[in-house]
Amino acid sequence: MTFLSALNRLRAAACLCALLFGGGTARAEEAPAMPTCAPSFSNSGPDAEAYGAGRNYPLGTIADRTRQDYMVATFSNFDRLLPAHAVLPPAEPSPLARDCGRAGWHYDFDGARRTIDQYLARHPATGLLIARDSTILFERYQYGRRDTDRLLSNSMVKTMVAMLVGIAIKEGKIRSIGDLAQDYVPEMKGSAYGQTSLRAADHERRH
């Protein structure tokens, strides 16, 4: 597996969320499997007006990222607000299958059984995707977001970055995790970020 092909797989996996709520485990009643299905989209969501629905979820500047009415657009457009590096996919990316024939998705929390619809009605989630191995089982988006948006992955990306670092070391693109970040990104030279070792940066991401 090359560095770029692994990155493509991991980018696809960035939206794959294991459904664990406060220790409750999601389950599904088995139903006849359907061969294909499409994701579901909604332009609304809990407190949609407070999140900017009336202005079509506006995108401000990076300084606006903590304002509630800019959060939806900010967290799905970071590549438009900060410098970003596009990574080309491999010639043969790994496909994700779909099987949305399961019904009755639910989870147990605080002594009660709740449905996924109840969860989404109470929590401001821009997207929720459940997958097993390489098969998507459930996919839904709120607040006008789409499956083509680059949603912020937060902590999910930590493990992915660590895997990519390991592949990069194997391929000789990184000599050692003891090297400094500025050895590979000269623009960071002289800053606290640039003088941080890759080992320390990886440790910080995982904690």
Q: Is residue 6 within a helix (H) or strand (E), and if so which, with residue range? A: helix 3-13
**What does pTM read for this prediction?**
0.68
Q: What burial letters (b/e) apply to 11-39, b meaning 16+ CB within 10 Å?
A: bbbbbbeebeeeebebebeeeeeeeeeeb
Distance CA 22, CA 46 (A): 20
- Supply the mean pLDDT for the chain: 80
84: in domain: yes
177: in domain: no
pLDDT tens digits, 131-173: 999 999 999 999 999 999 999 888 888 888 888 888 899 999 9
Q: What is the pLDDT of residue 201?
A: 66
195: in domain: no
Instruction: State how many domains the chain has.
Output: 1
Residue 94 token pair? 């790994």
In this predicted model, which residue has the larger pLDDT, 27 or 148?
Answer: 148
Q: What is the pLDDT of residue 15?
A: 37
202: in domain: no
- Residue 87: give the domain boundaries: 15-150
Q: What is the pLDDT of residue 31?
A: 41
132: in domain: yes
The answer to whether the CB of 136 falls within 8 A of the CB of 13 is no
187: in domain: no
pLDDT tens digits, 87-101: 777 889 888 899 877
Distance CA 155, CA 86 (A): 20
pLDDT tens digits, 39-71: 999 999 999 999 999 999 999 999 999 999 999
135: in domain: yes
